[in-house]
A and B are shown apart, each in its own frame.
Chain A
């Protein structure tokens, strides 16, 4: 069942058209990836889903409900959360405080404690650094914290924006393994990535974005062997 439906959306920045009729669906329990180069419209798509941007035409439906009828902050209690590009952790607060902020909409203490345990189990590095200022973490740890913070809200859909950005290859593998684990625990994932190879390796289904349009889609396994993609993104 599709829990996230993007139907023919057109998004403009002023008079500049950034998205030209994007349509795709995200099935429950899957990892779906949007890949494409810089400026292809990946983040724009994500921001239209999370309600930060409003499409001029077309609709985005989350669990069957139009997101334009949901205030942006109410998406979180519905189970949709975005991990923003560039991590954007609260760098002056401690790791623990960052995670507590993630649980802002989660009032039940027992659920909170459970989520916290789960996150710390998934990222043991964070447990070691609970009282450290988040700004002093390494890039990989910051990405883990950003994902962990999002998981604290107990999401059903996780929107990930370029989680591999600025990370060393070994850390990229670690982070993507964690993403796979999160998915196995039942969280649907929409992954936006420039690093097509690692994204396709863990995804079930992929869409290729170019200049605001979807130019190609298919099973991740077939896309990864596709000649055009190999040439364009995998080198």
Chain B
């Protein structure tokens, strides 16, 4: 009997120790993040941005957000505790996080660390200590951390109908505040002026605006959480015909919104969306290669460059042109030629790497992509391609007597091109060629053994992928009016690859989602300068840990995940039986 007691007390101690470690770890994650943000200098920038005008700065909002998150995190990670114990753990986690920040405050107050960490300025110290002396400030920070993290734990522990609306409401209000300036730019119409003045001043979001947005987000989410199931059931109960018409109706609304939004929102949004559109085009092209055919390609930017340079050579009125034609072509005339040039480049690119596989292929294609850029830069090619001076005076496309000069016009051009390209990509995916790509992606040797011509199929993947990129390059050249080799860095290839991975490899809607995330969002956050790339890297890491399949995974990948889960469940059940 005594043995059992001893054993159970050991076990108890074990659990306690484990919980202690867990709390410390979560606290360290929160505290470490906050301290890192201070050291990197982000907080200095965030201090000056209001989420709610004169009330809540972005820096405060960041602290609050992080602390709430770790509070919720510890609840998720301690499933064995009771609800009350979890909320108490939340408090402890907040205290640990606060302690981290307190140590930073004490260090800053005692030593001069500015010669090593430029960002740790007296201004930051003043901000962190709220005008208290350092010791009181530490106490306040620790307490505030505890309370906030406990609030996070409380939110996590509250029932779904309350938790989801709360999170959605806070997030809505936060993002409206974050993008206040851009939203105001988009609301430059007299008809919406009262709403604008109600919600924003030029400094940021008003308190009333924040509350309104919170209530709005809360209410919509509350409706969805409580009534959403009934709505969906109702929808499913309808005949498939009316379901389809509802779906088409929703698609139509989405298309109309997409068409109207940039026109209403102004040329800045138009420009951002157009850039997103270009990356969507390229993403769809690379998706044919990587997602469908499994050919990892890090030199994709070469095809983009080919399209852009072909347009420049054929349409710009310069001395290079005379070598080729007696008059410059219009953009529309040059477009098919440019796309064809990219297609040929894709073939030329594919031939040397036909027998290279996997990781080696990635490196080989990276080399090929760089070769193209270096050749363009070289003196040898500069009489034709302009070297580092680039090619200038590329005309914009005209439709009749109308010049597509504004970013918004070009956005529409990109949008229509993307839609046509998406249709092609979809049709390809479901074609015989698409099946052949799928087979060689899964197993090249077996694909060949089943009668697939590896050479043709691989070259077609490169050529058609390049074709999409050529279209993007042609629009890109028209947008800028001049092109330089520096616009075609390796980073573009990497970005395109990253966006299709984040979106969900092999998935067409995933390309759009990935481009919005990785290309659109950083553009909107331009005011934070280089710091936005910090967020970019952070998002990539988090995404790959939390959603390794991407935001909108393709059917095959989703199934694979499901079957892995099923197998795991089966194993667990079996081991459970044995125990």
A residues neighboring B (CB under 8 Å): 50, 52, 71-77, 81-82, 84, 88, 90-94, 100-102, 104-105, 133, 135-136, 149-150, 153
Query: With A92-B556, A93-B438 given, is the CB distance from A153 to B451 under 8 Å?
Result: yes
Contact A101 B450 (CB under 8 A): yes
B560 within 8 A of A: yes
Q: Which of B531-579 contact A (CB under 8 A)?
A: 556, 559-560, 563, 566-567
When C-beta atoms are compared, the residue in chain B nearest to A90 turns out to be: B442
Chain A residue numbers with a CB within 8 Å of B446 are: 84, 88, 90
Q: Does B193 contact A (CB under 8 A)?
A: no
Q: What is the CB-to-nearest-CB distance from A122 to chain B, in angstroms, rounded to a whole number? A: 19
Q: Considering only CB atoms, which chain A residue lies closest to B567 in the complex?
A: A136
- How far apart sit A127 and B556, CA to CA, in the bound complex (Å)? 20
Determine the distance from Cα of A100 to Cα of B430 in the docked complex, in whole angstroms.
Answer: 13
Report A-chain residues with C-beta under 8 Å of the C-beta of B203.
Answer: none
Pairwise interchain contact A88-B563, C-beta atoms closer than 8 A:
no
Which label, helix, strand, loop or mixed, suits the secondary structure of the A interface? mixed
Does the CB pair A133–B560 fall under 8 Å?
Answer: yes
Structural contact, B563 and A73, CB atoms closer than 8 A? no
Of B438, B560, B563, B566, most buried by chain A (CB within 10 Å of CB) is B563
How distant is the Cα of A88 from the Cα of B450 in the complex, in angstroms? Answer: 12
Indicate if B39 sits at the interface (CB-CB under 8 A): no
Asked whether A73 lies within 8 Å of B454 as measured between CB atoms, the reply is yes
* CB contact between B448 and one of A73, A94, A100, A136 (< 8 Å): that residue: A73
Contact of A81 among B436, B438, B442, B449 (CB under 8 A): B449
Please state if A105 and B451 are interface contacts (CB–CB under 8 Å): yes
Contact partners of B443 in chain A: CB under 8 A: 88, 90
A81–B454 CA distance with the chains assembled, in angstroms: 16
* Interfacial residues, chain B to chain A (CB-CB below 8 A): 432, 435-436, 438-439, 442-443, 445-454, 556, 559-560, 563, 566-567
In-complex Cβ contact of B435 among A77, A88, A100 (8 A): A100
| Nearest CB in chain A: distance from B255 CB, A | 32
Contacts A73-B454, A90-B442, A92-B442 given: A101-B435 contact, CB under 8 Å? Answer: yes
Is B445 in contact with A88, judged by CB distance below 8 angstroms?
A: yes
Question: Do residues B439 and A50 form an inter-chain contact, with CB atoms below 8 A?
Answer: no
Q: 24 A-B residue contacts at CB 8 Å?
A: A73-B451, A73-B454, A76-B449, A81-B449, A81-B450, A82-B449, A84-B445, A84-B446, A84-B449, A90-B438, A92-B556, A92-B559, A93-B438, A93-B556, A101-B438, A104-B435, A104-B436, A104-B451, A104-B452, A133-B563, A135-B560, A135-B563, A149-B450, A150-B450
**Chain B neighbourhood of A153, CB < 8 A:** 450-451
A77 close to B451 (CB less than 8 A):
yes
Contacts of A101 in B (CB 8 A): 435, 438-439, 447, 450
A90-B446, A101-B447 are known contacts; what are 12 more A-B pairs with Cβ within 8 Å? Answer: A52-B445, A81-B451, A91-B442, A93-B556, A100-B435, A101-B439, A101-B450, A105-B450, A133-B559, A133-B563, A135-B560, A153-B451
- Determine the chain A residues whose CB is within 8 A of the CB of B445 once the complex forms: 52, 84, 88
Asked whether A76 lies within 8 Å of B450 as measured between CB atoms, the reply is yes
* Residues of chain B contacted by A81 (CB below 8 angstroms): 449-451
Bound-state CA distance A71–B445 (Å) is 14
CB distance from B457 to the nearest CB of A (A): 9
Q: Which residue of A lies closest to B442 (CB)?
A: A90
Complex alpha-carbon distance, A102 and B449, angstroms = 9
Q: Give the docked Cα–Cα distance between A90 and B566 (Å).
A: 18
B556 to chain A, nearest CB (A): 6
B459 to chain A, nearest CB (A): 14
A145 to chain B, nearest CB (A): 12
Contacts of B449 in A (CB 8 A): 50, 52, 72, 76, 81-82, 84
